[in-house]
């Protein structure tokens, strides 16, 4: 049994009805899925509408290594620490995708004494939301190809079809496929692709919808293709938007679970931050803010990825004003950003990263300083959380603290929540509570709605990544022109790039300079309400590694899950 699974099974979770009652939900508003998880009806949000909103704190990170720096564990530990110092706190995180669970990353429930339980239920299906999203997405694809098969009454230009199919498993063999064998029975032959379900526009819509009515309207705005005259063909034109909404009627309800110490945990939606907008749902945040004193949410990967999208997309479209942010760092990752050693997922840690080296840490803090700068560009105060390991030397911690405060952070605090749970995060909790009470009165977006799409991309690349600008290939220029002509030029931009560097190149560590970000494709997510720019070699369908994590996952003789981490 893995250490995380063993820690999770060492505690007996409280009945989910008890968690719901404690935060003020009525029995009629809670739909249990077994004893330890439930969906919460949106009627609860209507009943609680007059309650004040709790401050919301974003937890983000430095540019991560392939091992991850413990961001999910930290946000959970922070909530546990806040409760220990007397505040009713809740955590909102994304639902893990089965692709990484069985691929390279493993689970997404946190770890050690700071995780969501039952962790195997969180990591494996949960309440079926991702499957519902996949079904709704693929229903639209089936309707589209059925329309083409039956004569193409709308005059769809086959070369303009932009709607792929989805599956929530990493499967590189499906990146480019030909469908339809032609003839009277087998559909119109054409090239298409599969993307992982968490990259679906339907996932983004679920994450950004503010009500069932809003969900239905957003689904109807999805653009699937263009007619030969250049006008858009939507799901509404094909008559499939209503059926998609029916499939998502239960999925829109946020999922309620608990931390290993019994704190409320909201898990809803799961868009990746490198290929999507990387944040949990607006609805989960809204209910959490009505039922808690403070809410801590997590954005995927580094502050250049999930945090920028949290501020510029989720906050803009969801009406959220964040109060503060936490940036998670580890000494070992800062050493790597300082040019020392390599970190490879699935392999033992390079010994050079375990030996004290304050100089390498100081060099790597250039990445930390840039990520602090990135958050402060939005007018949000920053606290740095150093996710502590036993191999961290005191002189290395001192360097991180000195560099973090010099870079503009309010404080830098070592946390031991992985081993100690909430007790190991109390100092961080006090600092975050103080920052959240002061709030971010000068919160601002990076760019205005009215800026041209190219200017928005340039602004993100230069101000957030530190690039000299963007290089847009001719095909992407044409796509941008078409999107603007269709009336979508005021939408925010979701940049899809590697999470392993501030740049588009995963080999460039630290704080790289002297590069331009290549934009090779641009596509419209009209229902979600943003435009996606694919940068560099970024793909929307991951592949499995040579030794997938799923090789270790199995059932024991008693039917219990083993090998999940």
Element (H, E) at 110: strand 110-111
User: How many Å is the Cα radius of gyration of the chain?
Assistant: 23
Residues 288 and 432 in one domain: yes
Residues 201 and 265 in one domain: no
* Average pLDDT of the residues in 456-472: 98
Identify the bridge partners of residue 295 per DSSP, sorted by sequence position: 56, 90
Residues 270 and 409 in one domain: yes
Element (H, E) at 220: helix 212-220
What pLDDT does 341 receive? 87
Q: Which of 386, 404, 438 is the last residue of a domain?
A: 438
Q: Which of 210, 239, 268 is the last residue of a domain?
A: 239
60 and 302 in contact (C-beta within 8 Å)?
yes
71 and 267 in contact (C-beta within 8 Å)?
no
Structure tokens that stand for 332 in this block:
């070992």
Residues 60 and 37 in one domain: yes
Residues 413 and 271 in one domain: yes
Structure tokens that stand for 314 in this block:
């989720």
What pLDDT does 8 receive? 79
Residues 227 and 321 in one domain: no
pLDDT at 345 over 90: no
Residues 433 and 500 in one domain: no
Residue 74 located in a structural domain: yes
The sign one gets for the Cα dihedral 289, 295, 300, 302 is positive
Q: What is the CATH number of the domain that holds 512?
A: 3.10.410.10
178 and 146 in contact (C-beta within 8 Å)?
no
What integer best gives the mean pLDDT of the chain? 96
Dist. CA 459–CA 256, nearest whole Å: 37
Element (H, E) at 214: helix 212-220
- For residue 118, whether the previous peptide bond is cis, meaning omega lies within 30 degrees of 0, is yes
Residues 145 and 219 in one domain: yes
Q: Which of 102-106, 139-143, 270-274, 437-441 has the lowest mean pLDDT?
A: 102-106
Structural domain boundaries, residue 94 = 3-127+251-438
Number of domains in the chain: 3
Residue 89 located in a structural domain: yes
Alpha carbon 176 to its chain's center = 25
Q: What percentage of the chain carries pLDDT values higher than 70?
A: 99
* Average pLDDT of the residues in 101-122: 90
Q: What is the CATH number of the domain that holds 161?
A: 3.30.1510.10
Residue pointed to by tokens 């007018």: 379
Residue 466 backbone dihedrals phi, psi, to 5 degrees: 85, 20
pLDDT at 216 over 70: yes
What pLDDT does 297 receive? 98
What pLDDT does 282 receive? 98
pLDDT tens-place string over residues 158-214: 999 999 999 999 999 999 999 999 998 999 999 999 999 999 999 999 999 999 999
CA distances from 96 to 126, 138, 164, 182, 247 (A): 9, 20, 21, 38, 20
Confidence of residue 361 (pLDDT cuts 50, 70, 90): very high
What pLDDT does 280 receive? 97
* Average pLDDT of the residues in 431-436: 98
pTM: 0.96
Confidence of residue 37 (pLDDT cuts 50, 70, 90): very high
Residues 293 and 311 in one domain: yes
pLDDT at 382 over 80: yes
User: Residue 252 half-sphere exposure, CB side, CA atoms within 13 Å?
Assistant: 25
What pLDDT does 2 receive? 63
Structure tokens that stand for 396 in this block:
């290395």
Dist. CA 496–CA 480, nearest whole Å: 15
Residue 266 located in a structural domain: yes
């Amino acid at each position: 049994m893995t250490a995380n699974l063993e820690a999770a099974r060492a505690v007996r979770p409280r009945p989910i009805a008890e968690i719901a009652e404690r935060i003020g939900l009525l029995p009629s508003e809670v739909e249990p899925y077994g004893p330890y998880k439930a969906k919460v009806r949106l009627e609860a949000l209507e009943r609680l509408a007059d309650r004040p909103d709790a401050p919301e704190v974003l937890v983000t990170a430095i540019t991560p290594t392939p091992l991850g720096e413990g961001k999910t564990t930290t946000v959970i530990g922070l909530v546990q620490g806040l409760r220990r110092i007397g505040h009713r706190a809740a955590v909102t995180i994304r639902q893990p995708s089965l692709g990484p669970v069985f691929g390279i990353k493993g689970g997404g429930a946190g770890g050690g004494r700071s995780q969501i339980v039952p962790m195997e239920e969180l990591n494996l299906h949960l309440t079926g939301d991702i499957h519902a999203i996949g079904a709704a997405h693929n229903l639209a694809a089936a309707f589209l190809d059925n329309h083409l098969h039956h004569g193409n009454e709308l005059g769809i230009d086959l070369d303009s079809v932009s709607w792929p199919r989805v599956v929530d498993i990493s499967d590189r063999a499906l990146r480019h496929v030909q469908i339809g064998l032609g003839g009277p029975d087998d559909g119109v032959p054409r090239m298409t692709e599969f993307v992982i379900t968490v990259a679906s526009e339907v996932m983004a819509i679920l994450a950004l919808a503010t009500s069932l009515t809003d969900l239905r309207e957003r689904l109807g705005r999805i653009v699937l293709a263009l007619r030969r005259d250049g006008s858009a063909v939507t799901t509404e034109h094909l008559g499939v938007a209503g059926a998609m909404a029916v499939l998502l009627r239960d999925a829109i309800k946020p999922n309620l679970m608990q931390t290993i110490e019994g704190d409320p945990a909201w898990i809803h939606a799961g868009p990746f931050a490198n290929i999507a907008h990387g944040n949990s749902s607006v609805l989960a945040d809204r209910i959490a803010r009505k039922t808690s004193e403070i809410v801590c949410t997590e954005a995927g990967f580094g502050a250049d990825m999930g945090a920028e999208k949290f501020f510029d997309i989720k906050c803009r479209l969801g009406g959220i004003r964040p109060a503060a942010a936490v940036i998670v760092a580890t000494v070992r990752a800062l050493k790597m950003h300082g040019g020392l050693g390599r970190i490879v997922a699935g392999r033992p840690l390079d010994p050079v990263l375990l030996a004290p080296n304050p100089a390498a840490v100081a060099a790597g803090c250039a990445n930390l300083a840039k990520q602090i700068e990135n958050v402060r560009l939005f007018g949000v105060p920053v606290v740095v959380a150093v996710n502590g390991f036993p191999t961290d030397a005191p002189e290395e911690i001192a360097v991180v603290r000195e560099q973090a405060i010099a870079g503009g952070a309010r404080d830098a605090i070592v946390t031991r929540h992985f081993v100690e749970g909430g007790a190991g995060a109390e100092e961080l909790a006090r600092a975050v509570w103080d920052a959240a009470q002061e709030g971010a009165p000068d919160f601002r977006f990076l760019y205005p709605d009215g800026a041209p799409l190219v200017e928005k991309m340039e602004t993100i690349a230069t101000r957030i990544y530190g690039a000299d600008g963007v290089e847009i290939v001719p095909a992407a220029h044409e796509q941008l022109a078409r999107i603007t002509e269709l009336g979508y030029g005021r939408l925010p931009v979701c940049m899809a790039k590697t999470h392993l560097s501030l740049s588009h190149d995963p080999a460039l560590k630290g704080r790289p300079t002297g590069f331009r970000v290549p934009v090779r494709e641009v596509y419209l997510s009209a229902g979600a309400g943003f435009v996606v720019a694919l940068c560099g070699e970024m793909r929307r369908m991951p592949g499995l590694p040579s030794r997938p994590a799923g090789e270790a996952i199995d059932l024991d003789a008693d039917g219990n899950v083993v090998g999940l981490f």
